[in-house]
Amino acid sequence: MLSNWIEARTTARTTVISLTIGLAALAGLALWTSLSMQRAAIHLHELNEISDRWGRVVQNVDVADHALVDYLRSGTPVMGQPVANAAGAAGESLRWLREHGANADVRAAVIVGDLYGDYTTLLRETVAAGDSGDGTAARQKADQAELTLVSLRKQLSTVVQLKRLETTDYLRAAERQNGRLRLAAVVAFVIDLGLVALCGVVLLGHRRKILRQAAKSEHEAMHDALTGLANRTLLTQRTGQAIERSNRSGEPLGLFLIDLNRFKPINDTLGHAFGDRLLQHVANRLTGAVRDVDTVARLGGDEFAVLLPSVRTAANALIVADRVHRALEEAVDIDGLSVDVGCSIGVAMYPTDSSDAHELLKHADIAMYAAKRARLGTSVYEPGLDQHGEAQLTVISDLRRAIDHGELVLHYQPKADLRSGTVCGAEVLCRWQHPRLGLLGPDRFIPAAEETGLIEPLTRYVLDHALAQCREWHAGGRDVPISVNVGAQCLHDPTFPDQVSRLLKEHDRPAEALTLEITESAIIADPHRAGDVLERLRELGVRLSIDDFGTGYSSIAYLRTMPVHEMKIDRSFTTNMRSDSSSAAITRSLLGLAHNLELEVVAEGVEDEETWSALAALGCDIVQGYCLSKPLPADEFAVWLRDRRLDELTAPTP
């Protein structure tokens, strides 16, 4: 609070104005003091001169008196000369006093002058009488002169007394005035000193404020406003410095490019404010997962980077990447909503596979796309990835044309009742017969389709062709219920149930012949909208299945409220069930959970008979996986189905 007051603009202005006034007052006081001293000195000088003149008058009178006494005593006419000389000697001083003295002096000089005039006349008459030899007359005149002298002395003594008093009074008054001026000067000096000190404090405060503002501007120029992480500029600067250090020390450094996997749909459906908060959580997690010497940066959107100086080997970098994955895999709670984003990490090393900062970033970017494409989590840059990257670009730009030209092919993977081994349906899995790149798996184009919005036309395409196939099998005497994977965005499109209904009608298939597989994250992204769409699909009579169950952590709460019929346990649990006890435990608890909610459970990724038996022991309902069959083109699937019917007993008995 005090520092705010010090740094306030009004405080600075007030302090400076006060100091200016204070200094001006001090200067005025000094000037006044010097003027009044000068005035006092002049006045004292005048008083001195006047006193001096009166002194001289007294002296002249004394000299005349002594000369008269000597003259009378000697009785010789010669001694009359000094008397004659002394008579009138004070006239000059008295005239000066009349002309230059103060009023009182002028008045006194007039009175004294009259008496002195009489006295000098008598002196001259005494000497004249003496000179004429009339001793008696001389004595008489001398006596008269003595009498006049008494009055004259009295008058003079009064004047001298008065002069002394006047000087003393004046000196006292001057002393008092001086004392007052001194006090005023001391007070003004103390106030000014205080103001100077305050000015100093205010100046220091302002200096601090300016330095703080400069530091803040520099921080803003180098950091991301939302997360407070380094921005691209600072990352580039730090990468340059790390490269210089690496050149000196010979220790390789690493760079991560991190892209969030499920950010776009969350941001699109839950709103940007929610997305912003999610990014802030991600920033905190990232910072917590790396060392203090590492620089975490946000490059924009949901793209982050981590600079790892002196990480030395790609293997070390992978350990850090693993920590980052674990940090981001944990669900984030925002406003009671639990979401998990996950990420793809591209790793590039300097100087191992990049020659400068620019290339390092580019290679990390290529590696990140490779990781995303192949759902690897992390991928380390290697020269071959560049071509893949280019191929990927073509893939995305070609995808729309592929949908329009019917280049997508559908494969069918059977599902069987776990106890009886009877085939109870097939999952439709999409592939792309690319004119140049050959047959591409869904991992090469589905993530891109999800990101670019092409997933909606793609889903319509798959539904359309799969239902057409269903109809054909039905016409051939075989009813195979089908499961179609539905992209997240379809669940947020309110027209999607109508599209499904129209396609069912068009291909004359009953709704219960169709199961739609949806992922947890698609629901989480916008539970309300997804809930509405799912409800309407359920009303249509379509079956709903939660795919890849167990890979997100957030949906169990929603699962209870969702109108779904089936749960598919992700193949990452089933394929590892035998070797990894935690996978087995998760499978068991997921099964328990699903059955409590009265859902049918499909275990996908079942590759061998042992897993099949283990799942049967746990009470699983349906299996899907290589131990039945790989996904097959429609005609091969029909052959497989026919052979299977002939030989249904090949299903292992639990």
Q: Which positions lie near ligand C2E, rule CB under 6 A? A: 413, 429-430, 441-443, 446, 455, 459, 462, 485, 487, 517, 547-548, 571, 575, 604-607, 625-626, 631
- Residue 628 and residue 622: Cα distance in Å, rounded? 11
Question: What is the pattern of x (binds Ca ion, CB under 5 A) and - over residues 33-72?
Answer: ----------------------------------------
Cβ count within 10 A of residue 332? 18
Binding at 441: pick from Ca ion, ligand C2E, none (beta carbon under 5-8 Å per type): ligand C2E
* Residues near Ca ion (CB under 5 A), total: 4
Residues 243 and 357: their CA atoms lie apart, in Å, by: 7
Residue with tokens 């009742």: 417
Binding Ca ion by CB under 5 A: which of 548, 566, 600, 621? 548
- Residue closer to ligand C2E, measured from CB, 430 or 584: 430
Place of tokens 């004429």: 132
When CB distances are held under 5 to 8 angstroms depending on the partner's kind, the choice from ligand C2E, Ca ion, none that residue 442 binds is ligand C2E
Nearer to ligand C2E, 289 or 462 (CB): 462
Name the residue nearer to Ca ion (CB basis): 415 or 507. Answer: 415
Which residues neighbour 282 within 8 Å (Cβ) at sequence distance 6 or greater? 227, 260, 302, 304, 328, 332, 341
Q: Kindly calculate the radius of gyration of the chain based on its CA atoms and give it in whole angstroms.
A: 58
From the list Ca ion, ligand C2E, none, pick the one residue 294 interacts with, judged by a Cβ distance below 5 to 8 Å according to partner type: none
Q: Which is nearer to ligand C2E, 532 or 607 (CB)?
A: 607
The nearer residue to ligand C2E, 141 or 568, going by C-beta atoms, is 568
- Stretch touching Ca ion by CB under 5 A, among 266-274, 321-329, 542-550, 633-641: 542-550
CB of 277 to ligand C2E, least distance (A): 28
462 binds, among Ca ion, ligand C2E, none (CB under 5 to 8 A by kind): ligand C2E
Nearer to ligand C2E, 91 or 441 (CB): 441
574 binds Ca ion per the rule CB under 5 A:
no
CB 528: neighbour CB atoms within 10 A?
10
**Stretch 512-531 residues interacting with Ca ion (CB under 5 A):** 517
Question: Minimum Å distance from CB 553 to ligand C2E?
Answer: 18
Q: Is the CB of 284 or the CB of 499 nearer to ligand C2E?
A: 499
Between residues 255 and 606, which has the closer beta carbon with respect to Ca ion? 606
Q: Least distance in Å: CB of 240 to ligand C2E? A: 41
CA distance readout (Å), 248 to 228, 251, 307, 357, 470: 31, 8, 18, 16, 67
Helix (H) or strand (E) holding 113: helix 103-131
| First-to-last C-alpha distance (Å) of the chain | 77
566 touching Ca ion, by CB under 5 A? no
Residue 605 contact partner, candidates ligand C2E, Ca ion, none, CB within 5 to 8 A by sort of partner: ligand C2E
Shortest distance, CB of residue 487 to ligand C2E, whole angstroms? 4
Cβ neighbours of residue 89 closer than 8 Å, sequence gap 6 or more: 60, 63, 64
Task: Tell me if 190 sits within 8 A of 244, measured CB to CB.
Answer: no
- Percent helix, percent strand, percent coil in the chain, to nearest 5: 65, 15, 20
Q: Which is nearer to ligand C2E, 298 or 431 (by Cβ)? A: 431
Binding partner of 469, given ligand C2E, Ca ion, none, CB within 5-8 angstroms per partner class: none
Return the residue of 231, 379, 459, 485 that touches Ca ion, per CB under 5 A. 485
To ligand C2E, the closest distance from the beta carbon of 562 in angstroms equals 18
CB of 442 to ligand C2E, least distance (A): 3
Phi-psi region of 95 (alpha: psi -120 to 50; beta: other; left: phi over 0): alpha
Minimum distance of Ca ion from residue 534's CB (angstroms): 16
Which conformational region is residue 251 in: left (phi greater than 0), alpha (psi within -120 to 50 degrees), or beta?
beta
* CB closer to ligand C2E, 93 vs 459: 459
Q: Is 420 exposed, middle or buried (0-12, 13-18, 19+ CB in 10 A)?
A: exposed
* Beta carbons within 8 Å of 380's beta carbon, 6+ residues apart: 314, 317, 318, 347, 348, 349, 367
Regarding 547 and contact with Ca ion (CB under 5 A), the answer is yes
Q: Which residues of 205-328 form beta strands (DSSP E)?
A: 253-260, 295-300, 303-308
List contacts with Ca ion (CB under 5 A). Answer: 485, 517, 547-548
